[in-house]
A and B are shown apart, each in its own frame.
Chain A
Amino acid sequence: MEYGVFQLIILSIFINNFVLSRFLGLCPYMGVSKQMDSALGMGMAVTFVMTIASLVTWLLYTFFLAPTYQNVFYFIFDTPIQNVPDLTFLRTIVFILVIAALVQFIEMYIQKVSPTLYKALGIYLPLITTNCAILGVAVLNIDMFFKDGLPLPNSFINTLVQAFASGIGFTLVLVLMAGIREKLELANVPKPFRGLPIAFIVAGLMSIAFLGFAGFSVE
């Protein structure tokens, strides 16, 4: 399937929202949504890391793992296409290591370059390594924008757009959730429902409301 940029944005933010429809990134969605400020910080950090991680994993997959004509062995070392090693089975292990290293690196880099940004995102970055949204989007990009190891048209752009838009979608629902939970702090929620249970019910109702976006036809 080929996607237009606008279509992909709508898809990623609303229709296939990472949290409400794909069930990715639930831990921070439940854990960091008690306060608006931290929700916003987490959302921004996730969006940032998701985009960079998608970029890096796309490059790795295209040039190292997939046995295609774009593989470094093929176009630099002139290995015949049949002999290019198929390393796609290493996808999971490579991606997770790269993401872990990347998060470390981003953390150090931000700390050095922009203390303000570090103050805003810093405390969320270590939490992100084990956030399935990051690995999720990386794997998803491969599933959606590659066919038999070959990138589909606009694969690279689509990857970036999907990662960024998914991050925005994640931030959107996280912030909405935080607003609602702040309000619920002051509500008269029955005892057994307090805390996580009501948060899940809010998520369920949110997900019901988001069904309204289903079937959007965007060109």
Chain B
Amino acid sequence: MSETSEKLFVVTSSPHIRDADSVPKIMWTVNIALLPALLAAVYFFGFKALWVTLLSVIAAVVTEAAIQKLAKKPIRVHDGAAVITGILLAFNLPPSVPWWMPVVGSVFAIAIVKEAFGGLGYNILNPALAARAFLLASWPVEMTASWVAPKEGTISGIAAITSATPLNLLKQSAKIIASPEKFDPAQLQAAQDAIAKLSSSYTNLLIGNVGGCIGETSVIALLIGALIMFYRHVIDWRIPFTYIGTVAVLAWIFGGTEGLFTGNWIFHILSGGLILGAFFMATDMVTSPITGKGQIIFAIGTGILTVAIRIWGGYPEGVSYAILLMNLTVPLIDRYTVPKVFGEVKSNE
């Protein structure tokens, strides 16, 4: 009809504009948000922490690229997801682990937990956490007996715990206090002292000057990262706050040595991997429920399991197992929290 232009224009389905956010942007934001904690780790635990992290990241990225190449899929390690897995795995290891452990862990995380399920978006469990559980089950001695005292010294001058995490100490002391007849008065006294001192070590817990896994000790650094993620809308308030809130309430009720409602909930929030877990791992989009309601259920469940493992379980720390266990329930939660459709009417079948 007309002769102005032979050009055919792009025809695609609507919508024709897209939000600028993308998967790589989200993933790299998380990576950036993890940097403050990495810096804190290097400060407190020395360059060993950096090497462990680097090894872990390299192993994760190389494994992912190799598998994608083998499977003749497009190589997409640039999206930064494997880097997150590497960093998070390293963050969950004690600073003095032998060098091959982050490597083995990363290979397991990527090959078995992620790529065997089809890669990004299809994994059931958080790869870093599953790999940590794998390492803990495989080499428990290396994973639990190699705590390093932070560079600045021990927390609040309790020399005896250079080789333990605060939660570890809390649990041991609580056990002693729970059955005083089995122990010397001196030990009992020491345990009571330890608990008293732990309660006054908030500053150290905040800045991260305590024993623990590489990335979990510095609450402040982690919170800076969390702020970055909030600012960039990478995470939503539901999971982290519900999770931490549940832990706080339950730790207050059950965590005390003098009966119900005497637990030191502030200590429970600040110590161990709760902050790291709540902001960086429980919020993993792929392995958390898709709906808001589901996310709250998920977070409450994680909180309950965390406190249960910390107080009654076999481990001083429960964050990673709690998240893993709740990861397993995500399909169920998603199934039973399908939102009520707009205008849905009860049908009478």
Complex CA–CA separation, A72 to B167 (angstroms)? 56
Complex CA–CA separation, A187 to B122 (angstroms)? 6
- Provide the residues of chain B in CB contact with A189, threshold 8 Å: 116-118, 122
Q: Mark B77-111, 1 if CB is under 8 A from A, else 0.
A: 00000000000000000000000000000000000
A36 and B122 form a contact (CB under 8 A) = no
A209 and B133 form a contact (CB under 8 A) = yes
B325 and A209 form a contact (CB under 8 A) = yes
Query: Assuming the A-B contacts A184-B117, A189-B117, A198-B117, are A209 and B313 also in contact, with contact meaning beta carbons closer than 8 angstroms in the complex?
Result: no
Q: Mark B276-306, 1 if CB is under 8 A from A, else 0.
A: 0000000000000000000000000000010
- Provide the residues of chain A in CB contact with B320, threshold 8 Å: 212
Complex CA–CA separation, A215 to B118 (angstroms)? 34
Q: Determine whether B17 belongs to the interface, using a CB cutoff of 8 Å to chain A.
A: no
Complex CA–CA separation, A198 to B115 (angstroms)? 11
Residue of A nearest to B320 (CB): A212
Query: Assuming the A-B contacts A190-B118, A198-B116, A208-B137, are A214 and B331 also in contact, with contact meaning beta carbons closer than 8 angstroms in the complex?
Result: no
Interface residues in A160-219 by Cβ distance below 8 A to B read 175-176, 179-180, 182-184, 187-190, 193, 198, 201-202, 205-206, 208-218
Q: Determine whether B228 belongs to the interface, using a CB cutoff of 8 Å to chain A.
A: no
B314 and A214 form a contact (CB under 8 A) = yes
Complex CA–CA separation, A4 to B223 (angstroms)? 43
Q: Determine whether B324 belongs to the interface, using a CB cutoff of 8 Å to chain A.
A: yes
Q: Determine whether B328 belongs to the interface, using a CB cutoff of 8 Å to chain A.
A: yes
Q: Mark A63-77, 1 if CB is under 8 A from B, else 0.
A: 000000000000000
- Provide the residues of chain B in CB contact with A210, threshold 8 Å: 325
- Provide the residues of chain A in CB contact with B335, threshold 8 Å: 36, 179, 182
A212 and B318 form a contact (CB under 8 A) = yes
Q: Determine whether B249 belongs to the interface, using a CB cutoff of 8 Å to chain A.
A: no
A188 and B328 form a contact (CB under 8 A) = no
Complex CA–CA separation, A175 to B331 (angstroms)? 10
The distance from the CB of B181 to the nearest CB of chain A, in whole angstroms, is: 15
The distance from the CB of A55 to the nearest CB of chain B, in whole angstroms, is: 30
Query: Assuming the A-B contacts A188-B122, A205-B124, A208-B130, are A193 and B321 also in contact, with contact meaning beta carbons closer than 8 angstroms in the complex?
Result: no
Q: Determine whether B10 belongs to the interface, using a CB cutoff of 8 Å to chain A.
A: no
Q: Mark B106-132, 1 if CB is under 8 A from A, else 0.
A: 000000110111110110110000100
B314 and A216 form a contact (CB under 8 A) = yes
Complex CA–CA separation, A184 to B330 (angstroms)? 12
Interface size on B, residues (CB 8 A): 38
Partner of A201, one of B116, B137, B312, B332: B116
Partner of B313, one of A179, A184, A215: A215
Complex CA–CA separation, A156 to B130 (angstroms)? 39
Complex CA–CA separation, A176 to B313 (angstroms)? 22
Complex CA–CA separation, A179 to B315 (angstroms)? 28
Query: Assuming the A-B contacts A202-B124, A211-B321, are A216 and B117 also in contact, with contact meaning beta carbons closer than 8 angstroms in the complex?
Result: no
Query: Assuming the A-B contacts A205-B124, A209-B327, A212-B322, are A217 and B116 also in contact, with contact meaning beta carbons closer than 8 angstroms in the complex?
Result: no
A217 and B332 form a contact (CB under 8 A) = no
A212 and B325 form a contact (CB under 8 A) = yes
Partner of B117, one of A187, A209, A215: A187
- Provide the residues of chain B in CB contact with A175, threshold 8 Å: 332
Q: Determine whether B58 belongs to the interface, using a CB cutoff of 8 Å to chain A.
A: no
Q: Mark B49-81, 1 if CB is under 8 A from A, else 0.
A: 000000000000000000000010000000000
Interface residues in B307-349 by Cβ distance below 8 A to A read 308-309, 312-315, 318, 320-322, 324-325, 327-332, 334-335
Residue of B nearest to A188 (CB): B118
- Provide the residues of chain A in CB contact with B329, threshold 8 Å: 176, 179
B321 and A212 form a contact (CB under 8 A) = yes
Q: Determine whether B134 belongs to the interface, using a CB cutoff of 8 Å to chain A.
A: yes
B71 and A180 form a contact (CB under 8 A) = no
The distance from the CB of A13 to the nearest CB of chain B, in whole angstroms, is: 12
B324 and A209 form a contact (CB under 8 A) = yes
- Provide the residues of chain B in CB contact with A206, threshold 8 Å: 328
Query: Assuming the A-B contacts A208-B130, A212-B325, are A218 and B312 also in contact, with contact meaning beta carbons closer than 8 angstroms in the complex?
Result: yes
- Provide the residues of chain B in CB contact with A184, threshold 8 Å: 117, 122, 124
The distance from the CB of B101 to the nearest CB of chain A, in whole angstroms, is: 16
Complex CA–CA separation, A190 to B308 (angstroms)? 37
Most buried by A among B124, B308, B327: B124
Q: List 13 A-B contacts (CB under 8 A).
A: A36-B335, A180-B124, A184-B117, A201-B116, A205-B125, A208-B130, A208-B133, A208-B324, A209-B327, A211-B133, A211-B137, A214-B313, A216-B314
> Contacts A175-B332, A179-B335, A187-B118 given; 12 further ones with Cβ under 8 A?
A179-B329, A179-B330, A180-B124, A183-B334, A188-B121, A189-B117, A193-B116, A205-B112, A211-B137, A215-B315, A216-B309, A216-B314
Q: Measuring CB to CB, which residues of chain A are less than 8 angstroms from any residue of chain B?
A: 36, 175-176, 179-180, 182-184, 187-190, 193, 198, 201-202, 205-206, 208-218
6 nearest interchain CB pairs? Answer: A215-B314, A212-B321, A188-B118, A179-B331, A209-B324, A187-B122
